[in-house]
């Protein structure tokens, strides 16, 4: 039973097959091959817009590169305090942007509000003594498995665009967001004011594949230089292109996400029915967070259940006691359904008094 992360599982068979199929003959390298070109076209179709899309190998690189196109070295990027760019990427955003400041705000359920952003922006009254407010980065689905709706994204866009700021989505779990929201990819992004997105595929079935997608294509003007300079232009680029084509073909990406999301609902429902654990915020994507006694965490790890103790600092959570933890369970397209059921059964036995 492994709920540690969606990246502990492997590659979806159709994506693995696509890699094998791409393995014949010669192709141009460095993203000038047909696979890469067709991948960009496929993303244009998915987003119903002529986007510019650049394939890279990790989510950290995708985020850093995307931010570098919208935040100058003297700029500030506002995000949630628990955002990956704020606390999970060493100093990578600083590296890619040349030193921009990442300002993490607290907010319930892993989400930041227009009010919190506005309050922060209103504090920037001293010109160059502060960094220049450059961008807001939202994670969708969030690190807490919650979702920003198009209306929520639009409200933030409406706040920041008149100030000349740009809007980025860290979409490491974007498929889960689209599947959970039940809206189109376009509605969840550019129709709501998003300028650029890190579009994740790795967690949801690919091997190592993310795309930086520009909805505001002018921002992409020099992006090929940025990708090259960051060591993210791969020579045998056909294998990234082929993965992306398979990921999008026949909606595999959403199919995978729907399955993972459904498993999360199944897990949450099972845990609630066992009446033993608090689930402090809505389960909207492929993650379930529960508050549990620390000794239960230790017991479960001992029983071979893999999941993380997720530090609550910055989450704005009330009511977690000293001897409790916030436990994170991540469901993947590849998580066996029986693992969920076995875990729920196990928890029934462990029922908290």
Q: Give the nearer residue to a second copy in terms of CB position, either 48 or 298.
A: 298
How many other C-beta atoms can be found within 10 angstroms of the C-beta atom of residue 58?
18
Least distance between a second copy and beta carbon 133 (Å): 11
Q: How far is the CB of 201 from a second copy (least distance, A)?
A: 11
Nearest C-alpha neighbor of 218 from the set 281, 166, 286, 177? 166
Is 288 in contact with 141 (CB distance < 8 Å)? no
Pairing outcome for strands 132-139 and 166-171 = parallel
The sheet carrying 287-293 orders its strands as: 287-293, 324-330, 308-309
CA dihedral 186, 15, 336, 292 (to 10 degrees): -50
CB of 128 to a second copy, least distance (A): 4
Q: How would you classify the pairing of strands 308-309 and 52-56?
A: unpaired
Taking the C-alpha atoms of residue 163 and residue 117, their distance in angstroms, rounded to an integer, is 12
For a second copy, the closer of residues 176 and 192 by Cβ is 176
Taking the complex as a whole, the smallest distance from the CB of residue 177 to a second copy amounts, in Å, to 18
Q: Considering beta carbons, is residue 8 or 108 the nearer one to a second copy?
A: 8
Contact by Cβ (8 Å): 238, 24: no
In the complex with a second copy, the residue whose CB is nearer, 120 or 149, is 120
Min dist. Cβ of residue 10 to a second copy (A):
4
The H-assigned helical ranges of 69-186 are 84-87, 92-97, 114-122, 150-160, 174-181
Cα(66)–Cα(97) distance, integer angstroms: 9
Write down the least CB distance from residue 90 to a second copy, Å. 4
User: CA-based angle 249:251:252, to the nearest 5?
Assistant: 80
Minimum distance between the CB of residue 287 and a second copy, rounded to whole angstroms?
16
Cβ closer to a second copy: 181 or 213? Answer: 213
User: Closer to a second copy at the Cβ: 155 or 207?
Assistant: 207
- Closest approach, Cβ 339 to a second copy, in A, equals 10
| 134 vs 181, beta carbon nearer a second copy | 134
Question: CB-wise, 153 or 197, nearer to a second copy?
Answer: 197
Q: DSSP E strands: which ranges in 57-122?
A: 75-80, 101-105
Cβ at position 95, least distance to a second copy in Å: 5
Maximum alpha-carbon separation in the chain: 64
For residue 295, give the DSSP letter. H
Closest separation in Å from C-beta 307 to a second copy: 12
Nearer to a second copy, 63 or 284 (CB): 63
Distance CA 279, CA 69 (A): 38
Q: Which is nearer to a second copy, 272 or 320 (CB)?
A: 320
**Among 111, 110, 93, 113, which Cα is nearest to 101's?**
93
Q: Which residues pair with 330 in a beta bridge?
A: 287
């Amino acid at each position: 039973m492994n709920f540690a992360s969606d990246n502990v599982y492997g590659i979806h068979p159709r994506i693995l097959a696509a890699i094998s199929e791409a393995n014949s003959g010669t192709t141009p390298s460095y993203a000038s091959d047909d696979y890469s070109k067709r991948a960009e076209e496929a993303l244009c179709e998915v987003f119903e817009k002529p986007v510019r899309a650049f394939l890279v190998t990790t989510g950290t690189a995708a985020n850093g590169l995307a931010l570098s196109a919208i935040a100058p070295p003297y700029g500030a990027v506002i995000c949630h305090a628990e955002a990956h760019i704020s606390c999970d990427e060493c100093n990578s955003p600083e590296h890619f942007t040349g030193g921009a400041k990442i300002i993490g705000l607290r907010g319930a359920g892993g989400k930041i509000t227009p009010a919190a952003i506005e309050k922060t922006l209103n504090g920037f009254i001293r010109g160059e003594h502060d960094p220049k407010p450059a961008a807001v980065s939202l994670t969708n689905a969030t690190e807490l498995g919650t979702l920003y709706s198009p209306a929520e994204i639009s409200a933030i866009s409406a706040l920041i665009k008149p100030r000349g700021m740009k809007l980025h989505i860290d979409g490491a779990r974007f498929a889960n967001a689209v599947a959970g929201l039940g809206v189109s990819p376009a509605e969840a992004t550019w129709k709501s004011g998003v300028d650029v997105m890190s579009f994740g595929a790795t967690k949801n079935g690919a091997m190592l594949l993310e795309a930086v997608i520009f909805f505001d294509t002018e921002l992409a003007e020099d992006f090929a230089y940025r990708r090259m300079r960051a060591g993210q232009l791969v020579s045998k680029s056909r294998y990234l292109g082929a993965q992306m084509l398979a990921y999008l073909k026949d909606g595999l990406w959403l199919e995978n996400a729907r399955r993972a999301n459904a498993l999360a609902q199944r897990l949450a429902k099972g845990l609630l029915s066992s009446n033993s654990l608090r689930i402090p915020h809505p389960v909207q994507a492929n993650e379930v967070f529960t508050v549990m006694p620390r000794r239960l965490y230790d017991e479960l790890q001992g029983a071979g259940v893999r999941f993380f103790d997720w530090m609550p600092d910055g989450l704005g959570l009330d009511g977690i006691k000293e001897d409790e933890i916030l436990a994170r369970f991540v469901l993947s397209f590849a998580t066996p359904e029986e693992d969920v059921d076995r875990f729920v059964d196990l928890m029934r036995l462990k029922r908290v008094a």
